[in-house]
Amino acid sequence: MENIISSYIETHKDRFINELFELLRIPSVSADPNYSNDVFKTAEAVKEKLISAGADNVEVCATAGFPIVYGEKIINPKLPTVLVYGHYDVQPADPIELWHSGPFEPVIIDGKIYARGACDDKGQVFMHVKAFEFMMRTNNLPCNIKFMIEGEEEVGSDNLGIFVKQNKEKLAADIILISDTGIIANDIPSITVGLRGLSYVEVEVTGPNRDLHSGLYGGAVANPINILCEMIAKMKDDKNSICIPGFYDDVEILSAEERAEMAKAPFSLEEYKKSLDLSDIHGEEGFSTNERNSIRPALDVNGIWGGYTGEGAKTVIASKAYAKISMRLVPNQNSEKITQLFKNYFESIAPDSVTVKVTPHHGGGPVVTPSNSIAYKAASKAMEKTFGKKPVPVRSGGSIPIVAMFKSELGLDSVLMGFGLDSDSIHSPNEHYGVFNYFKGIETIPYFYKYYAEGCKG
Amino acid sequence: MENIISSYIETHKDRFINELFELLRIPSVSADPNYSNDVFKTAEAVKEKLISAGADNVEVCATAGFPIVYGEKIINPKLPTVLVYGHYDVQPADPIELWHSGPFEPVIIDGKIYARGACDDKGQVFMHVKAFEFMMRTNNLPCNIKFMIEGEEEVGSDNLGIFVKQNKEKLAADIILISDTGIIANDIPSITVGLRGLSYVEVEVTGPNRDLHSGLYGGAVANPINILCEMIAKMKDDKNSICIPGFYDDVEILSAEERAEMAKAPFSLEEYKKSLDLSDIHGEEGFSTNERNSIRPALDVNGIWGGYTGEGAKTVIASKAYAKISMRLVPNQNSEKITQLFKNYFESIAPDSVTVKVTPHHGGGPVVTPSNSIAYKAASKAMEKTFGKKPVPVRSGGSIPIVAMFKSELGLDSVLMGFGLDSDSIHSPNEHYGVFNYFKGIETIPYFYKYYAEGCKG
């Protein structure tokens, strides 16, 4: 297969880029109702791409929200089946003024594709579509394949859970393959074997029933912004441990050996700080940077707003202040339980001079995937083949909440073979995806199928 | 004069309302560059109103920012001169969605004029114009009068200071008369004898050099929103005292007698809480509500923003977080000194994992005006005449920073004879001004001139 895949990519590389650009031009922002039509339009575009790549029974499956695109190629029911999961929706593009080029006008600069969704996850999904096309057109598909590409990953995948529950037979498979993660570096391949869970809430603090003049009332009534800040400050102690009672109760404690093993992964703290322009790092006392963002939970304010935020000065005490707060969870924390603990704590620390409201957004459980399975070994061997180096197993700080759901609902493990880089600025302005990574993914995926099918044969 | 003034108001009341509405319809928001043309337009409108009321030498005096409208009537250089100060600019109208009617489409509902600036300060300025018109047309002006109406009061009056310094001769007077404050209630007239000063700053906290994915980085880098909240929380201790070192050093301490005298002012804490829908009040331990908002300094966050504030959820660690923070000052605190103390403290509590920037917006000194002067007595007698009750001297929590500047630059005291109510929602949505208060002002002002001229004669 070696020569064939390389020459196939070389022959079709311009088309592979152009077809991805078509998807990237549709602003499928699932969080913002203004883009609702575009999200539906993207589902139709994904459907067309799957059909032209050679998939059968392709359909845009309606849900209560955005649809799920399904397609399959069953070459022999007796062969193993790989279920490919990905998402075609993207994060909002704002702050839009920080983009150097239009978030939905993809361009290649210095070997990188710049666009919202270039890496997360349209670019990574489309590697699978093009690898599938290659296997179909060159007779190299060694097992069955199913695609399930959703449009609500960035807003909590609520309807995917319902879809999975209702379509267990249709989705029957042996393994789930997902490219929505990354590698350590282009010369240090890695495979994600752990993901953090997520609990995401929005909070509202109300003081007086209307905005007040800060001269006439300042000092005499609770200012909901000051109070919200004080409540957020109470979320962590001076060692940056989270203060919510019970928060750490279920946290898995790694052994000294496991931590020593983790510490072997290549990492330069100086380069990390330099790449982010940081004078100092910041986090839970007693843990390294790589531990803080993988095996330890975290609490971050993702957005805050209240009062006058325009030009100049306005002397007002706002009636309300708001924040969006997310917690990243590790095994064996439970998302619903943590959300409830947060709510209890937040309400308990609110002074009587304000009222507070906590609204859960979405969440999902943390995951650790096996690294001794046939599928993991196939992915490892495929990457070793194309990168020339055996990939490192790593635990990522990100969350793909549906991985835990796939395990509980379908009984299936997932292989998290992604090709992005931490520096790709996903969820940030100027998201990009290396042309190298895009083609390396297309090249690697067919090997996964080959080694996986061989492994299943025994 | 009694009969004349009442019948003059009765005869012209519709015109007095309509003319004020013309001013209110121009959105003279000085803080927002989008309204710049309207601010200039308002200055021209004020000029026309002064001319038609009978003023001489009316001019729109250019400054580096918005102009100052000047006009005068010198009937006899040997008579005393009253300098009327006011402002024609207004606060921003947002949050616009909370207005029941358009902020720049004045309407009268239940005897109140609803519009941005209805009370603060277009409505109160226009009372002086109409009282002047009455005195001119009925030969009742007993002394000289000068008008100085500026357009930058809501953004710090920077250019007024320069104008005053450069025009000391033109502005020569015996007393300054200002209506930019209020009375306790329509049946409890009062005169403001003290104002708090102001120090207003904007702060910026920068963490990583770009927005980051909160999964990949959460827990391992400083989140500037969390840090900003923690820094704001450190502004006050658990007794709601301000923690900035040196902040209270110059605060005037009132005697037990003075506090007991203050406590006699009519005030119901239950009604105060009810009118604001508050379960509890909140403020510096050891002081009453009326003390907290008048003789004690305060620190309030007037606006905060950072990260994702749109619909739904975005899992981002923002690169920057911002807040607008103001401090209300009391005698003998100095605005520049307090701004510097704030800056020093804010910088000192910032962890090394972020960088911070403090930008001073504007400020002004606190003021206590004499209550035994000829002018104060004239105001008191005028109000007693029209309200039927002697007004109470009160210290207000608001700031008119230029009052201290008038004293230092022109050597003039001010009389703060305002007719608004705390419930007028100035700086808030649905600002309004009672029709009663508007006409009561027009009725009272000519008596001030009468008693002041008589008092000066000895």
Contacts of B220 in chain A (CB under 8 A): 281-283, 289-290, 292-293, 298, 397
Whether A349 and A254 have beta carbons less than 8 Å apart is answered as no
- Give B218-251 pLDDT, tens digit per residue: 999 999 999 999 999 999 999 999 999 999 999 9
| A positions 365-394 inside 8 Å of B (CB) | none
What span, in angstroms and rounded, lies between the C-alpha atoms of A318 and B155? 18
CA A284, distance to chain mean position in Å, is: 23
**Does the pLDDT value for residue A419 go beyond 80?**
yes
Sign of the dihedral defined by the CA atoms of residues A288, A293, A294, A299, in that order: positive
Nearest to A289 by CA among A266, A312, A306, A310: A266
Angle between helices B158-166 and B402-410 (to 10 degrees): 20
Please compute Rg for chain A using Cα positions. Answer: 23
Q: Is B92 in Cβ contact with A315 (below 8 Å)?
A: no
Contacts of A347-352 with CB under 8 Å at 24 or more apart are A349/A231, A349/A234, A350/A205, A350/A227, A350/A231, A351/A222, A351/A227, A351/B280, A351/B282, A352/B279, A352/B280
- Closest chain A residue by Cα to residue B209: A276
**What is the SS3 assignment for B277?**
coil
Position B401 scores a pLDDT of 78
Angle between helices B36-53 and B2-24 (to 10 degrees): 160
CB atoms closer than 10 angstroms to residue A195: 31
What does CATH list as the number for B197-251+297-364? 3.30.70.360
What span, in angstroms and rounded, lies between the C-alpha atoms of B72 and B84? 10
What span, in angstroms and rounded, lies between the C-alpha atoms of B403 and B418? 14
Nearest to B50 by CA among B74, B22, B69, B76: B69
| B positions 274-333 inside 8 Å of A (CB) | 276-284, 289-290, 292-293, 296-318, 321-324, 326, 328
Percent of chain B scored above 90 by pLDDT?
88
Cis before B158? omega within 30:
no
**Does the pLDDT value for residue A2 go beyond 80?**
no
Q: Is A213 in Cβ contact with B426 (below 8 Å)?
A: yes
Nearest by CB to A304, from B306, B315, B328: name it.
B306
Position B40 scores a pLDDT of 98
Q: What is the distance in angstroms between the Cα of A11 and the nearest Cα belonging to chain B? A: 35
- Give B7-65 pLDDT, tens digit per residue: 999 999 999 999 999 999 999 999 999 999 999 999 999 999 999 999 999 999 999 99
Asked if A214 has any chain B CB less than 8 Å from its own CB, the reply is: yes
Position A362 scores a pLDDT of 82
Q: How far is CA A125 from CA A40, A86, A119, in A?
A: 17, 6, 9
CATH match of A2-195+367-457 with 3.30.1490.20: no
Confidence class for position B158, pLDDT limits 50, 70, 90: confident
CB atoms closer than 10 angstroms to residue B81: 19
Position B398 scores a pLDDT of 86
Average pLDDT over residues A45-62: 98
End-to-end alpha carbon distance in chain B: 21
Phi, psi of A314 (to 5 degrees): -130, 130
- Give A7-50 pLDDT, tens digit per residue: 999 999 999 999 999 999 999 999 999 999 999 999 999 999 99
Position B266 scores a pLDDT of 83
Position A312 scores a pLDDT of 84
Contacts of B311 in chain A (CB under 8 A): 31-33
Q: Is A226 in Cβ contact with B232 (below 8 Å)?
A: yes
Nearest by CB to B219, from A207, A296, A318: name it.
A296
Phi, psi of B199 (to 5 degrees): -135, 120
Most B-contacting residue of A157, A278, A287, A396 (CB-CB within 10 A), to test interface: A278
Helix (H), strand (E) counts: chain B: 13, 18
Q: Residue A113: CA atoms inside 13 Å, Cβ hemisphere, count?
A: 31
Sorted by where each begins, the domain ranges of chain B are 2-195+367-457, 197-251+297-364
| One-letter identity of residue B351 | P
Q: Is A278 in Cβ contact with B208 (below 8 Å)?
A: yes
What is the DSSP annotation of A244-305? Answer: STTTTTTPPPPPHHHHHHHTTS---HHHHHHHTT-SS----TT--HHHHTTTS-EEEEEEEE
Q: What angle is formed at CA A346 by the lines to CA A341 and CA A352, rounded to 5 degrees?
A: 140
Most B-contacting residue of A195, A247, A301, A423 (CB-CB within 10 A), to test interface: A301
Q: Between these two residues, A393 and A326, which has the higher pLDDT value? A: A326
- Give B168-205 pLDDT, tens digit per residue: 999 999 999 999 999 999 999 999 999 999 999 999 99
End-to-end alpha carbon distance in chain A: 21
Cis before B223? omega within 30:
no
What span, in angstroms and rounded, lies between the C-alpha atoms of B242 and A33? 43
Q: Is B208 in Cβ contact with A312 (below 8 Å)?
A: no
CA A173, distance to chain mean position in Å, is: 23
Supply the ipTM of this predicted assembly.
Answer: 0.82
Angle between helices B435-457 and B374-387 (to 10 degrees): 140
Q: Is B198 in Cβ contact with A352 (below 8 Å)?
A: no
Paired strand residues for A328: A198, A298
| One-letter identity of residue B35 | Y
CA A346, distance to chain mean position in Å, is: 27
Q: Is B311 in Cβ contact with A306 (below 8 Å)?
A: no
The predicted model scores a pTM of 0.82
CB atoms closer than 10 angstroms to residue B305: 21
Q: How far is CA B294 from CA A358, B192, B258, B333, B336, in A?
A: 34, 11, 13, 13, 20
Question: Which residues contact residue A244 at a Cβ distance below 8 angstroms, ignoring those fewer than 6 apart?
Answer: A235, A299, A338, A341, A342, A345
Q: What is the distance in angstroms between the Cα of A400 and the nearest Cα belonging to chain B? A: 10
Q: What is the distance in angstroms between the Cα of B451 and the nearest Cα belonging to chain A? A: 30
Nearest by CB to B200, from A227, A293, A313: name it.
A313
What span, in angstroms and rounded, lies between the C-alpha atoms of B171 and B165? 10
**What is the SS3 assignment for B169?**
coil
Helix (H) or strand (E) holding A148: strand A144-150
Nearest by CB to A308, from B226, B303, B362: name it.
B303
Nearest by CB to A92, from B196, B289, B308: name it.
B308
Position of tokens 């704001």? Answer: B232
